[in-house]
A and B are shown apart, each in its own frame.
Chain A
Amino acid sequence: MRGMEKSSKLPKLPLVLTGNRLRDGDVVYFDGSDWTGDLSGAALAEDEATARRLETIAGDSAGVVVDAYLVTAAKGEDGRPAPAHYREAIRASGPTIDFGETA
């Protein structure tokens, strides 16, 4: 588990908890009670205590989600989480290119 020890330094706040679902590899985010495929529905941890609670979830979810990790997110104008880095933007929205039949 990447940086999930209690004492570990957290990435910059605010944060979301994300990973890939074990069964199908889909990108998922923790929404407070379950995992969702939609970043804007993710629970946004804006303080350290909330982030630490998400960290516990990550540890407990290893049977469902692979390599769950906390990652810095932006807070959109609507208050919902949005990607803060291009890697997370691509994870959230898929490849930036046309592929398969649509290419």
Chain B
Amino acid sequence: MYRYDEFDEQIVRERVEQFRGQVERRLDGSLTEDEFKPLRLMNGLYLQLHAYMLRVAVPYGTLNSAQMRQLALIAERYDRGYGHFTTRQNLQYNWLKLVDVPDILGLLADVGMHAIQTSGNCIRNVTADHFAGVAADEIEDPRPTAELIRQWSTLHPEFEYLPRKFKIAVTGAEEDRAAVSVHDIGIRIVRNEAGEVGYRILVGGGLGRTPMVGKTVRDFLPRVELLDYLQAILRVYNRHGRRDNKYKARIKILVHELGAAEFTAQVEEEYRQLERDGIAVAEAELARIAQYFAPPPLDERAEPSDLLAKAREADPALELFARHNLVPHKVRGHTALVLSVKPIGKPPGDATAEQMRVLADLAEQYSHGEMRITHMQNVVLPHVRLDDVPAIHERLLEAGLAEPNAALITDIIACPGMDYCALATARSIPIAEDIQRVFADPARQAEIGKLSIKISGCINACGHHHVGNIGILGLERMGRENYQITLGGDPGNATTLGERLGPGIDADAVPGAIEAIVDTYLELREGPEEQFLTTLARVGHDPFKPALEAKKETADASA
């Protein structure tokens, strides 16, 4: 794993002390809230409905056991004993006091963590495939590239005040698990015909109020040119991105208004004129960074594991867990283990301090001290021997982290929604919990198969509803919560934005409507192998509409 060097250490420590001074000046009245707010946001500190919320960066979703234990300690000492894993692979605390935050940032700095650039109109924490370095379909581990971008973008003086926030995601695999097409810049590590490794660059994707799929501006960018080329993109955006209207300020609007061809032409022109200022990526530097991400020493082992096979036969719960939560590892006899932070009927992505410590212990004992946070709000132990799965499963059962539902219908993404968030227009978490309860039976989930539900409590789409197979958007209508349902979203290689099924419905009608949609799918699919999106593409939205209408009438009648 990457370790901060002395420059990183110094930057983070100085930032902690700087923020301590800013908090003091705010409390003694030297700073007004208007002056202080941008400063706290630069340190990831928001004011939500009930308290301050701190968003802690987990660069490319990778963290070690010591870091996880520190997160647990902070949760216990300064929050209410838990934290929330987000769709940006970060962790958020919900109940902080302003006066405690400088000390909290100090504790984070002790383990090489911080909250810098997790908010504000800058280049945000870079995200990556959570199976980086593990997946068999990988051309290259995306994390050295993501780390390079982190180093370049951290406190970049030119890009601290962009028109709006800016999110970059990287994947090095054939299957896009990092949703790169819905980021401001998406980077795919690819191989050209000559066999050289480089980058395909997508620009202008995003969700939110105006969802867009990113456009390819370069099919193959030589590796050494990455930072220069990103600089050219950011310069065009910084110059022409709209600052007059917050809702039109993201780069996706600029790309859309100019057209992809014109935008690309402007980037290429900027790139030609760029005085190469010494940020071209030296192969040696990339190699230096990459060595921190060298795969741990894993012994190839027989596969399948006899030990695991016997344990699966003897224990139905383990069998279910192994069937759904194990992901193939590129090294034989190993697995990447998805630990679902989606127990039925509980807030998606919330982990208690105790659970965090269990995760840290398991990672230390069984996964070379390493964990990943996924944009699905789960945790991955990336390097586990198949032989160790039964022992891990025992511990997970005790900790309430053994839900056998990875990528199934109850593995729901949900933003915090109005239970916490000041921007929300409706609640998300109770909707997710109610839907989970409807589909709680593991046999039923297995019968349905892979199907994603994603819920956002407002149009900003932190819950990625546009790219959910079933998307749910919570809005307000006439003083009541009202939920719009979309079908057909897909964040992967064939990125597709869901389309609305019909008028919004009341909260209490949502679980029934989802059940009716799923029942319709089960009726219409040509076999258990046909996934929801395939069926939908074949039959269209129409067969699903009556189910929604029926539920709406029921809700109206009971209102």
Contact = CB atoms under 8 A, between A and B. Distances in A.
B77 to A, nearest CB: 14
B429 A25 contact: no
Nearest to B343: A103
Contacts of B430: 96-97
A20 B53 CA distance: 13
B248 interface: no
A100 interface: yes
B240 interface: no
Main secondary structure of the interface of B (DSSP, over half): mixed
B52 interface: yes
Chain A interface category by residue count: 20 to 34
B51 A25 contact: yes
Contacts of B29: 63
A66 B80 CA distance: 22
Contact of A103 (B94, B98, B99, B350): B350
A23 B97 contact: yes
A95 B51 CA distance: 12
Interface in A54-103: 62-63, 66-67, 85-87, 90-91, 94-101, 103
Nearest to B481: A86
Contacts of B81: 100-101
A58 to B, nearest CB: 12
B26 interface: yes
Contact of B47 (A25, A87, A91, A94): A25
Interface residues of B, number: 33
A26 interface: yes
B80 A26 contact: no
Contacts of B305: none
Contacts of B94: 99
Contacts of A23: 27, 97-99
Contacts of B291: none
B98 A97 contact: no
B50 A27 contact: yes
B440 to A, nearest CB: 16
A22 B50 contact: no
Contacts of A95: 50, 419-420, 429
5 contacts: A62-B32, A97-B430, A99-B350, A100-B81, A101-B81
